[in-house]
Structure 1
Amino acid sequence: MALQPWPQLRQGHKAHPVPSLQYHLRARGHTVVVDGDFGPKTDTAVRAFQKQKNLIVDGIAGPRTWQALVTTVRRGDEGDAVRSAQEELQARNLSGDPSKAPAVDGDFGPQTEKAVRNWQQAIHDVDESAMLVDGIVGGQTWQSLISGMHLG
């Protein structure tokens, strides 16, 4: 099985992966609250980002918008893009123990890197043999996380 497609998010959507969208918009300088609710302010930020990147300005976070929006993060990085990765990894923590996944603190340290490697290995073994297991959250890893693959 291949990677799941990027989701199509628009105003009115709530919950996963809206927080990731909001964190990425913040990482790109847009002022939005990360509340998991794709409301008017998130819509405005998506449209502004689309215009800035010469994309179709429709307020829908689809494949082209996601691909332009996500940024590669790795150990040592800090900020909202890291928080997005941590949020995604926390969402897949089915143990009931939040300490079993990285804290959403915006600091890409050893626990986040280990969780990313574990996620990549699981995707590599089950679904996508081309998935690199490198502990770096790049395009393919972002797509696997944001698309909701294997989400509880």
Structure 2
Amino acid sequence: MAATLNPWPTTRQGAKDHSVTTLQFLLLAHGQTVTVDGVFGAQTGDAVRAFQWAKNLPDNGVVCPRTWEALIVEVRPGAQGSAVRGVQHEFPTSEDGVYGPETERAVRSFQQDAAILVDGVVGRTTWQALVGGVQAAPLQQAA
């Protein structure tokens, strides 16, 4: 049974949840200047607005589903950089920015547990599951 993904969260100034750190790593991957501290403060807001403006999105500083979709960087084995750190931040692995065997195992295990395609590639569906979460499948009752 396929997973039901939660919607992308709406993330805005003042937020301090796990999605903010992932957002900050993705902003870095797109060349924005931001400190990865897990706090959506003025610097993160400025970086979000600059990113939105560059992508012809409403530059209001609110990270809505359209902004999340634009921020996605496909991450696969062998990749390096801030987007990989964003993936690694979601797991109890080292955050060295290198997509090696440890990261691949964590991603594949997550994909399996979330009932999404297990391919080791962090694309749109896996990013959405990481950031927004996955709804538990309802238990089927015996007839």
- TM superposition outliers: structure 1 runs of 4+ over 6 Å: none
Normalising by structure 1, report the TM-score.
Answer: 0.84
How many residues are treated as equivalent by the alignment?
133
Asked if the contact 1:3/1:143 (under 8 Å) is kept, the reply is yes
RMSD: 1.2
**Alignment of 1:56 onto 2:58:** yes
Listed as ranges, the matches of 1:1-150 within 5 Å are 2-90=4-92, 102-124=93-115, 131-149=116-134
CA–CA separation in structure 2 for the residues paired with 1:38 and 1:11: 5
Asked if the contact 1:17/1:148 (under 8 Å) is kept, the reply is no
Deviations 1:59-80 (A, max 9, x none): 0111000000011000000000
How far 1:58 sits from its partner (Å)? 1.1
Asked if the contact 2:4/2:134 (under 8 Å) is kept, the reply is no
Letter in 2 for 1:106: G
How far 1:2 sits from its partner (Å)? 1.1
CA–CA separation in structure 2 for the residues paired with 1:148 and 1:141: 9
Note the residue ranges of structure 2 that are not aligned, 5 or more in a row: 136-143
How far 1:148 sits from its partner (Å)? 3.7
Deviations 1:36-65 (A, max 9, x none): 000000000000000100111110111000
Letter in 1 for 2:31: G
Match of 1:17, SS state, is helix
Q: Among the aligned pairs, what percent are the same residue?
A: 53
Deviations 1:84-111 (A, max 9, x none): 0000123xxxxxxxxxxx2111010001
Note the residue ranges of structure 1 that are not aligned, 5 or more in a row: 91-101, 125-130
How far 1:9 sits from its partner (Å)? 0.5
Normalising by structure 2, report the TM-score.
Answer: 0.90
